[in-house]
Amino acid sequence: MSSQTDSAVPSGSFADWAYKCWGNPELASLPLTLQGRSCRLDMRRPIIMGILNVTPDSFFSGSRAGSVEDAMGRARRMLEEGADIIDIGGESTRPGASLVGEQEELDRVVPVIEALAAELPCPISIDTNKSAVARAAVMAGAEFVNDISGFTFDPAMADTVAACGAGAFLMHTRGKPESMQDDTVYEDLLAEVVGYLHTAVKRAESAGIPRCKLAVDPGIGFGKDLFGNLEILCRLRELHALGLPVLLGTSRKGFVGQIVGQSDPAERLNGTLATVALGVACGAQIFRVHDVRPAREAALMAWAVVHRQRP
């Protein structure tokens, strides 16, 4: 990467600077790979991350698994449908969700990760913001840590991920799930999102995590209202100023329901697929979804149009 990207953020609006950087061919080129603890994801095609929640209260019932056997069955189906990575979560992070204790989260996710890692070739990500859970999950076989707080909720997380050698997905949020929707007003939304992620990346690098193991996520639905989510989708390219893969997580979320008039998450697939296709057009490379096959097909079709070739 150029010295401009690695240097301190220029004064003024970070989002304005990021937008200008998009015109620089070096900064506009997207990363070709993302490394995990012992794997390497090929980013030349859309990467589909299947959601598998070992929780009783995740907002979409179709993503929940109540036992190791249930989780294994769901994971096998996602792999058959083309998942490139499976994201395991033991604590719901939907708006208003209550916190889960560390031991309870460990009890939920570790047996599932051990079982999946022993049988399936697909890389595993652990969706957690607790360093102890991240450490145990990587020891059980996870390749990546997906932290909704960008290493801010747990001060030991960056060092833990570095010591484990895992890759990381760093997301923007404003506040914890139980309160994050209390304040969704921003003076400059993209400036805050990109600036927050820039700081998260520097935090990760300072701990010893190389850039080749990092990806960023603007945090759709986390501390944003309907119009904030739409603004992020419209300006997704600005995140490429960070020079890292962009993960997009829109699957069946509330703002999709607001647009298409569906209060039931089970009825939000079509709206979700539109955001996946638009995300591909704007250069997002990783898509965290509940519905692997439809999302994969939408992403590949959009990719073919953008690149004018068969995937």
Q: Which residues contact 293 (CB under 8 A, 6 or more apart)?
A: 81, 82
Q: What is the pTM of this model?
A: 0.89
For residue 282, being part of any structural domain is answered with yes
Q: What's the rounded mean pLDDT across residues 66-70? A: 84
Asked whether residue 80 is domain-assigned, the answer is yes
C-alpha–C-alpha distance, residues 32 and 285, integer Å:
10
Burial of 299 (0-12, 13-18, 19+ CB in 10 A): buried
Q: Kindly indicate the confidence band of residue 59, based on its pLDDT and cuts at 50, 70 and 90.
A: low
The more confidently predicted of residues 55 and 113 is: 113
pLDDT of residue 199: 97
In a domain? residue 7 = no
φ, ψ of residue 87 in degrees (nearest 5): -105, 115
Over residues 135-178, the pLDDT tens digits come to 999 999 999 999 999 999 999 999 999 999 999 999 999 878 87
In a domain, 71, yes or no: yes
Compute the C-alpha angle 113/118/123, nearest 5°: 60
CA-based nearest residue to 239, from 205, 190, 278, 280: 190
pLDDT confidence of residue 13: 46
Paired with 305 in beta bridges are none
For the cut 50, the answer to whether the pLDDT of residue 8 exceeds it is: no
Judged against a pLDDT cut of 90, whether residue 234 lies above it is answered with: yes
Output the pLDDT for position 9: 40
Segment 10-25 shows an average pLDDT of 45
Q: How far is CA 171 from CA 17, 142, 168, 201, 287, in A?
A: 20, 18, 10, 10, 13
Question: Quick check: 214 and 170 in contact, CB under 8 A?
Answer: yes
Catalytic residues: 253, 288
Residue of higher predicted confidence among 84 and 20: 84
CATH number, domain at 176? Answer: 3.20.20.20
User: Residue 27's pLDDT is what?
Assistant: 40
Q: How many domains does the chain have?
A: 1
- Packing angle of the helix pair 102-119, 68-80 (nearest 10 deg): 50
Count the neighbouring beta carbons within 10 Å of the beta carbon of residue 253. Answer: 22
Per-chain mean pLDDT for the chain: 88
- Using CB atoms within 10 Å of the CB of residue 80, give its burial: 0 to 12 exposed, 13 to 18 middle, 19+ buried: exposed
pLDDT at 3: 34
Beta carbons of 196 and 150 less than 8 angstroms apart:
yes
pLDDT, tens only, 178-211: 777 888 899 999 999 999 999 999 999 999 999 9
Q: Distance (Å, rounded) from C-alpha 212 to C-alpha 215? A: 8
Model pLDDT, residue 100: 85
55 in a domain, yes or no?
yes
pLDDT (average), residues 38-57: 92
pLDDT value, residue 97: 65
**Domain span holding position 244:** 14-307
Domain assignment present for 1: no
Residue 22 lies in a domain: yes
Round to whole Å and give the CA distance between 220 and 170: 13
* CA-atom Rg of the chain in angstroms: 18
Q: Is residue 3 part of a domain?
A: no
* Contact criterion met (CB below 8 Å) for 106 and 140: no
